[in-house]
Structure 1
């Protein structure tokens, strides 16, 4: 038993560059998620004014927040493909992080709705450089035997950063203003923008010092980067990576239905905002706890069982949210929905990575990240439009998407691991 700790560590070991990249994404995730909470408060403050173009304040906030997601997702296939053609990932990540640092600092000087819109749009474009290149780099630093675990570790740390930001952001704003040693007073809003800038710079430094492109990436630059819809082998109707992209869109939309109907949820469950925050965070909690072990398990038992199982679990966990009447049960449902998401995320990226040829990772994996981003944007819009027809209607819509996604992955996805391997049993010493 003396070697047990060493063997456990070995089971979850990843390339140090993947770990460095995961920490970098965690840092920039903290800063970027700060803004999700702070931007609505900033828009509603007396600091920001100017032309509203006839729009209500709530609509302006929605446009500013959604523009980031739509531009980020729309540009990812182009930046992913470009990084494949150039044969390098690191410069694209640095361009994106540099853009984030500059735009985070720019909020301090923004005093109009239009300037906020421009800054948030530029942030979306900046992140579109980071996401495909980062996922492609993780894929290329991994092998078929450990790709799921590497994807799980990367996603876990990224989500820790994304989940921690909103928790701290409100406190930073409310505790302001601050007096720094020079005697200068800094408002709560400015403090948030400075913190977001620093986290982006920390990420930039980590990537600069600790990350390098694999030699094989540059050697295979300029490969065939076409994106197929039909299965080129003729075995299935749809290309498996395209299928995973569609399933990711459906999954993300079903998950994000909950985000924009807080008043309706709180009224139905007779609860306050604290309970809603816990229910919203339950999904992220499940992701943080399970992404790495599920990703590692997919390296042994195969990708397909987890993807299909996760999509199947998504069906009841989405539907039940439309018929729940207690806060506790809603928390459990959201937690179970998070388990479903964890079963799909890392194994899907690993399976797509298995199928991507040398020099194609940016183009192929960007299909999944783009689709997920669109799903996150479509989900809240759908629930906002449908909840007026009945509280349960958005969740029935999400359930239908989950059913179609399950059918797609079950019929169009094949296992990529040649053999599944049992988890090694640690013997007695």
Structure 2
């Protein structure tokens, strides 16, 4: 590497604490995404009893799953602000992971709809402690020259965990029950006792959260600057205080993240309509759904590193612009293969927006403000993921194309907002790779 510019070498260096945090989020992501598959199966199995409050079982399942996202997103600004106020990230991450492990275990004894709702709600609050503090810690461990790459690495591992969980969850449930041999002892489980596939899945989710807890405990430390700058100005303005633009750039990025997430999530809840239109089975739908995550996993890190080199804004604007046609075309497609490519294109667009947006917001966040500022983006993304499925369910009755026209319009508006309200944060674009670093 002697002949490479120092800046290029720095791009490929990732702080070991960022890697540790990325692995911890991958572990808890596996456990948490397990439940997306397991909870509906658990409810449908007949094990869960009790009052449904006059609602259909399918509606109760929807409430259980959506409550997590709603509480998670709602509490993120509060926990992000508190982590800034106290100048600590690690304790907040540990509180969240500990809560996640405990609530995963609680499912083993949950046998009523009300208990499932309470547990899932507590999980949403627990994860709200993890996300803002984690993103803020990655931001503070990075520098302007490697912030995008670090954000990309962090998000890549998180997405790997989130994508692997549902795949493994079905197998764990279907292969049960499991009988422990007499020479194996697990806390709370006597030897030679049969464990159902559902309980095994809950134990796996809890162990995954505990692994994340152990990694953070041993390998993560708060930067000195975080505590030194605790209690900085934590307000989140809507108007641009500099007077250059109408809207604050971080607020604008939050709005764009909400629009992006909503456009991406339109696909999730209209599986019957998609399969009927394309005359395909659930396997093709699964592949199309996974195409977005695949693109994210493959591209988050290289795009993050590239935005450290060429600037944040070109990738964000380009990604939002690419989101318009890749969303719109899905409403007019009649082939499974073309739908897969469109979803892959959406994934590329998302990868171009997400890590560079976090990096740009991190550049703008002052010392001790990362938790508050970056939680705007993570909260907005969470609400977008919730709004997208609701929108598609409401609009698909007007025609198959309607949800996707709506999503493309949101993406177009987001493109205009970013283009007009957000400026580049890197002082200069980097030199072309291979040139000497003067």
- TM-score (norm. length: structure 1): 0.97
Q: Is the 8 A contact 2:110 2:116 kept in 1?
A: yes
Confirm or deny that 1:285 pairs with 2:283.
Answer: no
Residue equivalent to 1:17: 17
Confirm or deny that 1:424 pairs with 2:416.
Answer: no
Residue equivalent to 1:387: 396
The structure-2 alpha-carbon separation of the partners of 1:33 and 1:423, relative to structure 1 and needing over 3 Å to count, comes to farther
Residue equivalent to 1:43: 43
Q: Is the 8 A contact 2:136 2:370 kept in 1?
A: yes
SS of the residue corresponding to residue 280 of structure 2 reads coil
Residue equivalent to 2:157: 157
1:174-323 maps to which residues of 2 (within 5 A)? 174-181=174-181, 182-323=191-332
Residue equivalent to 2:79: 79
Q: Distance in 2 between matches of 1:240 and 1:11?
A: 25
CA shift at 1:388, angstroms? 1.0
CA shift at 1:45, angstroms? 1.1
The structure-2 alpha-carbon separation of the partners of 1:188 and 1:305, relative to structure 1 and needing over 3 Å to count, comes to same
Residue equivalent to 1:63: 63
Structure 2: give runs of 5+ residues left out of the alignment: 182-190
Cα offsets for 1:138-167 (capped at 9, x unmatched): 000000010000000000000000000011
CA shift at 1:10, angstroms? 5.8
CA shift at 1:80, angstroms? 0.1
Confirm or deny that 1:341 pairs with 2:365.
Answer: no
Q: Distance in 2 between matches of 1:357 and 1:77?
A: 16
Q: Distance in 1 between matches of 2:9 and 2:37?
A: 37
- Choose which of 359, 373, 386 in structure 1 pairs with 2:368: 359
Q: Distance in 1 between matches of 2:154 and 2:12?
A: 12
Residue equivalent to 1:170: 170
Residue equivalent to 2:185: none
Residue equivalent to 1:403: 412
Structure 1: give runs of 5+ residues left out of the alignment: none
SS of the residue corresponding to residue 205 of structure 2 reads helix
SS of the residue corresponding to residue 253 of structure 1 reads helix
CA shift at 1:13, angstroms? 1.9
CA shift at 1:220, angstroms? 0.2
CA shift at 1:423, angstroms? 4.3
Q: Distance in 2 between matches of 1:45 and 1:101?
A: 23
CA shift at 1:115, angstroms? 0.3
Q: Is the 8 A contact 2:300 2:352 kept in 1?
A: yes
Q: Distance in 2 between matches of 1:306 and 1:89?
A: 29
CA shift at 1:11, angstroms? 4.0
Q: Distance in 2 between matches of 1:173 and 1:9?
A: 45
Q: Is the 8 A contact 2:10 2:146 kept in 1?
A: no
Confirm or deny that 1:31 pairs with 2:31.
Answer: yes
Q: Is the 8 A contact 2:11 2:146 kept in 1?
A: no
Q: Distance in 2 between matches of 1:42 and 1:196?
A: 14
Q: Is the 8 A contact 2:310 2:429 kept in 1?
A: yes
SS of the residue corresponding to residue 234 of structure 1 reads coil
Root mean square deviation, CA, Å: 1.5
Q: Distance in 1 between matches of 2:7 and 2:178?
A: 48
Q: Distance in 1 between matches of 2:205 and 2:116?
A: 15
CA shift at 1:426, angstroms? 8.0
Residue equivalent to 2:337: 328
- TM-score (norm. length: structure 2): 0.95
Confirm or deny that 1:110 pairs with 2:110.
Answer: yes
Q: How many residues align?
A: 426
Q: Distance in 1 between matches of 2:3 and 2:15?
A: 21
Q: Is the 8 A contact 2:11 2:149 kept in 1?
A: no
